[in-house]
């Protein structure tokens, strides 16, 4: 006998993982095609367990470490025996909760997964703002904030990478939330491919949020007994605004996600030759750039694109990972020792996921590129995408890269990826598995990087995807830093680095001083200001320092010495946003504070200029109100309470793009 309860409806009740087609009409968490063509999914609680330690995910990045607890909740659809395990990791030290999902086919027939979200979160309220971080190539992660409206809204990527356009990190917050007030929730997806982060403000003014792999082009075959694992999502709630949320994300990522091959060590200040030479260089020219850089304090020389194959522009050579001996006679075996003799380490640019049609690799294996053979292929930057879903393709490229790494003392590689995925079809998969290519590509990328991590444990890898096109928490598991943006203009970087800072630590933010006029904007900014902007990152230079004036060289030498002195404060201290560059157009300011609050570094850059500029009295943050601090070594002492509540007065600046830094040192104990 069926008993109908007219007061019960899935469409109004909060769900831990929403169903499909059985009464809840809001956003679904999973969509499964059964053998009979049905998409109905009625999930019922079976059991739960709690155990010490953090769960791990096969083939996927995840937070890790001691002092975690794991909650596992098992749900099952009784009609199809589809089993869904919800995984929760809890790190009390950082108020961090992680979420993942495993789906197992307990039935006797094949099923197809069309949608698997890693996270479903029901808020019993609709009066929230949604903050996303959006933009495009050379203008990544600009903050956008708007109240939730009724209906669906969110951000996503179907570009095969997390993308320049939208970042897989969002914030929900109260309308009046700010840096130090108001309830906010941050959610980050540890995934570097197509993603969907979508909210729905529903008819009864509640809100559902789901986050995971984008269902576009996704259809995963699951045979009886097989299991599918979704990427991890990370959540932090702060009742006191954005700053505490940021600090917890930064610490958790540094301590429980990144696997730095040299933990606790300062990363070398580097010089990259790209903006100085692009493809047109020879060995003597590069050694000259390195020699001048070494005199000014550089410690790592990175040779960028153009060192391999027939590579004089971006139309040929990708895939042929053999040294171009016409540019580098004797290969890396002869060239790298010349760099080492200068007292510098050596690094190399690579783009392993790509191939040019004009390459020996493509002529030998045209089927190794993504693309359906009866259709013309879409090119980006004159290149195609190798099918990293295929193990044989990955093995070939891996062996070629390893031969390069084994040929010389290479301590660093910059891993680039300069186009989106198109023509997504694999010659190695049958028709009923073509919906797996996007995700298998990402799994293949992770597999490749994990092998490098295993076989070259001292190798440092910087991620890059045309700059910041794959700046996500998933990549940080494999690459401890990521090139923040191809836009090296110091003023544009203020906004890019501001948006990046809400989730991602300063130590992950690849940032360099480049030449002027800037290659992306044509803007001219003083070298002092370019240094201040780049110092809010991993720090380095991307220019021919031999072309600098003697006065500029003196400034460069001072900048490198200052960064080396204060790197721990900058990269491991707490980061405070003192202004919002999207609202305050006059100047941008930020601050690094040591964990014990004994020292701080304040940076300020002026942006626009106008007549009758107001005086700047900047209220600092994070100091100990009971201590007194010296500023830039002055004998005058300022109370921490006065600096935070009354502010520090700055002189009037003459002209745009000026900068100043204040180093604060505590002279008294609390």
Q: What is the pLDDT of residue 1?
A: 41
Torsion of CA 256, 258, 264, 267, to 10 degrees: -160
CA separation, residue 223 to residues 60, 219, 231, 438 (Å): 21, 13, 20, 19
Q: What is the pLDDT of residue 367?
A: 96
Assess contact for 435 and 218: CB atoms under 8 A.
Answer: yes
Nearest Cα residue to 590 out of 556, 566, 611, 618: 618
Assess contact for 594 and 569: CB atoms under 8 A.
Answer: yes
- At residue 402, the 3 state secondary structure works out as helix
Q: What is the pLDDT of residue 8?
A: 76
Assess contact for 186 and 502: CB atoms under 8 A.
Answer: yes
Q: Which residues of the chain have pLDDT under 50?
A: 1
Assess contact for 125 and 106: CB atoms under 8 A.
Answer: no
Q: Catalytic: 284?
A: no
Query: How far is it, in rounded angstroms, from Cα 411 to Cα 624?
Result: 40
Which residues, 6+ apart, have CB-to-CB distance to 411 below 8 Å? Answer: 300, 345, 346, 347, 458, 459, 460
Q: Which residues are paired to 75 by β-bridges?
A: 45, 84
Q: Catalytic: 392?
A: no
Tell me the torsion sign for CA atoms 29, 33, 35, 38: positive
Pairing state between β 69-77 and 44-52: antiparallel
Active-site residue identified among 232, 472, 528, 624: 472
Active-site residue identified among 33, 552, 572, 641: 552
Nearest Cα residue to 339 out of 308, 293, 278, 306: 293
Query: How far is it, in rounded angstroms, from Cα 305 to Cα 311?
Result: 8
Which residues, 6+ apart, have CB-to-CB distance to 286 below 8 Å? Answer: 273, 277, 301, 303, 335
Q: What are phi and psi of 161, to 5 degrees?
A: -135, 165
Reduced 3-state DSSP string for 635-651: CCEEEHHHHHHCCEEEC
Question: What domains are defined for the chain?
Answer: 30-256 (2.70.98.60), 270-352+393-420+464-567 (3.20.20.70), 587-666 (2.60.40.1180)
Assess contact for 191 and 169: CB atoms under 8 A.
Answer: no
Q: What is the pLDDT of residue 6?
A: 65
Query: How far is it, in rounded angstroms, from Cα 292 to Cα 135?
Result: 37
Q: What is the pLDDT of residue 218?
A: 98
Burial class (CB within 10 angstroms; exposed 0-12, middle 13-18, buried 19+) of 441: buried
Cα-Cα end-to-end distance for the chain? 72
pTM of structure: 0.96
């Amino acid at each position: 006998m069926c008993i109908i309860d007219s007061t019960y409806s899935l469409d109004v009740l909060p769900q831990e993982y929403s169903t499909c087609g059985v009464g809840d009409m809001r956003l679904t968490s999973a969509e499964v095609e059964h053998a009979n063509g049905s998409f109905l999914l009625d999930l019922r609680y079976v059991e739960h367990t709690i155990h010490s330690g953090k769960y791990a995910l096969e083939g996927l990045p995840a937070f890790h470490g001691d002092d975690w607890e794991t909650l596992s909740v098992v749900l099952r659809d009784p009609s199809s025996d589809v089993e869904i395990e919800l995984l929760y990791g809890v790190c009390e030290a950082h108020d961090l909760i992680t979420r993942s999902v495993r789906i197992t086919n307990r039935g006797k027939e094949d099923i197809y997964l069309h949608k698997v979200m890693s996270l479903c979160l029901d808020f019993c309220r609709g009066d929230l703002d949604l903050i996303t971080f959006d933009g495009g190539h050379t203008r990544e992660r600009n903050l956008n904030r708007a109240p939730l409206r009724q209906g669906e809204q969110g951000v996503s990527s179907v570009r095969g990478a997390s993308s320049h356009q939208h970042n897989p990190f969002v914030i929900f917050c109260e309308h009046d939330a700010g840096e130090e007030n108001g309830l906010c929730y941050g959610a980050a997806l540890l995934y570097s491919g197509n993603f969907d982060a979508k909210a729905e403000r529903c008819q009864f003014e509640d809100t559902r949020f789901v986050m995971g792999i984008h269902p576009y082009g996704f259809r995963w075959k699951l045979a009886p007994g097989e299991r599918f694992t979704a990427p991890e999502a990370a959540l932090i709630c702060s009742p006191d605004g954005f700053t505490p949320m940021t600090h917890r994300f930064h610490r958790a990522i540094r301590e429980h996600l990144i696997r730095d091959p040299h933990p606790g060590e300062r990363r070398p200040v580097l010089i990259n030759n790209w903006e100085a030479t692009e493809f047109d260089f020879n060995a003597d020219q590069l050694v000259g750039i390195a020699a001048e850089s070494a005199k000014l304090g550089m410690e790592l020389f990175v040779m960028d694109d153009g060192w391999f194959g027939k590579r004089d522009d971006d139309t040929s050579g990708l895939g042929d990972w053999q040294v171009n001996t016409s540019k580098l006679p004797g290969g890396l075996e002869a060239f790298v020792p010349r760099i080492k003799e200068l007292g510098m380490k050596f690094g190399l640019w690579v783009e392993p996921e790509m191939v040019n049609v004009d390459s020996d690799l493509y002529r030998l294996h045209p089927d190794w590129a993504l693309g359906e053979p009866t259709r013309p292929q879409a090119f980006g930057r004159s290149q195609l995408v190798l099918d990293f879903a295929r193990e044989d393709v990955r093995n070939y490229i891996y062996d070629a890269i390893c031969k390069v790494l084994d040929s010389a003392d290479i301590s660093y590689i910059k891993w680039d990826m300069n186009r989106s995925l198109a023509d997504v079809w694999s010659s190695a998969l049958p028709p009923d598995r073509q919906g797996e290519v996007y995700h298998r590509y990402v799994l293949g990328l992770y597999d490749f990087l994990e092998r490098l991590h295993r076989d070259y444990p001292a190798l440092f890898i910087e991620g890059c995807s045309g700059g910041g096109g794959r700046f996500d928490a998933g990549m940080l598991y494999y690459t401890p830093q990521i090139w923040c943006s191809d836009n090296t203009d110091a003023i544009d970087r203020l906004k890019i680095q501001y948006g990046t800072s809400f989730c991602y630590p300063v130590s992950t933010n690849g940032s360099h001083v480049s030449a002027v006029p800037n290659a992306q904007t044509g803007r001219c900014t003083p070298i002092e200001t370019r240094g201040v902007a780049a110092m809010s990152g991993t720090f380095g230079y991307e220019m021919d320092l031999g072309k600098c004036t003697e006065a500029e060289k003196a400034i460069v030498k001072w900048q490198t010495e200052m960064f080396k002195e204060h790197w721990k404060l900058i990269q491991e201290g707490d980061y405070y946003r003192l202004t919002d560059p999207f609202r305050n157009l006059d100047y941008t300011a930020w601050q690094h504070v040591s964990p014990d609050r004994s020292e701080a570094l304040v940076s300020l850059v002026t942006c626009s200029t106008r007549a009758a500029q107001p005086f700047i009295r900047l209220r600092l943050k994070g100091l100990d109100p009971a201590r007194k601090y010296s500023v830039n070594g002055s004998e005058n002492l300022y109370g921490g309470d006065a600096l935070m509540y009354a502010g520090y007065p700055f002189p009037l600046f003459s002209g745009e793009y000026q900068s100043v830094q204040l180093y604060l040192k505590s002279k008294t104990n609390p």
